[in-house]
Amino acid sequence: MQVLFGGTFDPVHNGHVAMAISLSVAFPDATIRVIPNRQPPHRTSRVSSAHRLAMLKLAMDEISGVTVDLIELGRDGPSYTVDTLRSLRAIYGEQESIVLALGADAVRSLESWYQPEQLPSLCHLCVLKRAGERIEIPGLLNQMVEVNRAIDLSETPSGRLYRLDTPEIPVSSTAVRELIARGTSQLPVPPTIADYIGSNHLYQDTE
Ligand code: ATP
Give dist(CA 147, CA 153) in Å, integer. Answer: 8
Q: Which amino acid is at 123?
A: C
Per-residue pLDDT of 59-93, as tens digits, reads 999 899 999 999 999 988 888 999 999 999 999 99
Q: Would you say 41 and 78 are in contact if contact means Cβ atoms under 8 Å apart? A: yes
Q: Is 60 in the pocket of ligand 1 (CB under 6 A)?
A: no
Residue 11 C-alpha to ligand 1 middle, in angstroms? Answer: 10
Residue 15 C-alpha to ligand 1 middle, in angstroms? Answer: 7
For residue 43, the model assigns a pLDDT of 59
Which residues, 6 or more positions from 27, have their beta carbon under 8 angstroms from its beta carbon? 1, 3, 65, 99, 150, 153
Query: Nearest to residue 16, comparing CAs of 55, 51, 43?
Result: 55
Q: Would you say 11 and 47 are in contact if contact means Cβ atoms under 8 Å apart? A: yes
- Give me the residue spans of the domains in the chain: 2-168
Residue 106 C-alpha to ligand 1 middle, in angstroms? Answer: 8
Among residues of the chain, what percentage have pLDDT more than 90? Answer: 77
Per-residue pLDDT of 116-149, as tens digits, reads 999 999 999 999 987 667 888 899 899 999 999 9
Q: Indicate the fold that domain 2-168 takes in CATH.
A: Rossmann fold (3.40.50)
**Residue 203 falls in which region: left (phi positive, over 0), alpha (psi -120 to 50) or beta:** left
Mutate to test the pocket of ligand 1, among 105, 125, 178, 206 (most ligand atoms within 8 A of CB): 105
Give dist(CA 58, CA 101) in Å, integer. Answer: 21
Residue 188 C-alpha to ligand 1 middle, in angstroms? Answer: 13
pTM: 0.94
Q: Is 174 in the pocket of ligand 1 (CB under 6 A)?
A: yes
For residue 40, the model assigns a pLDDT of 58
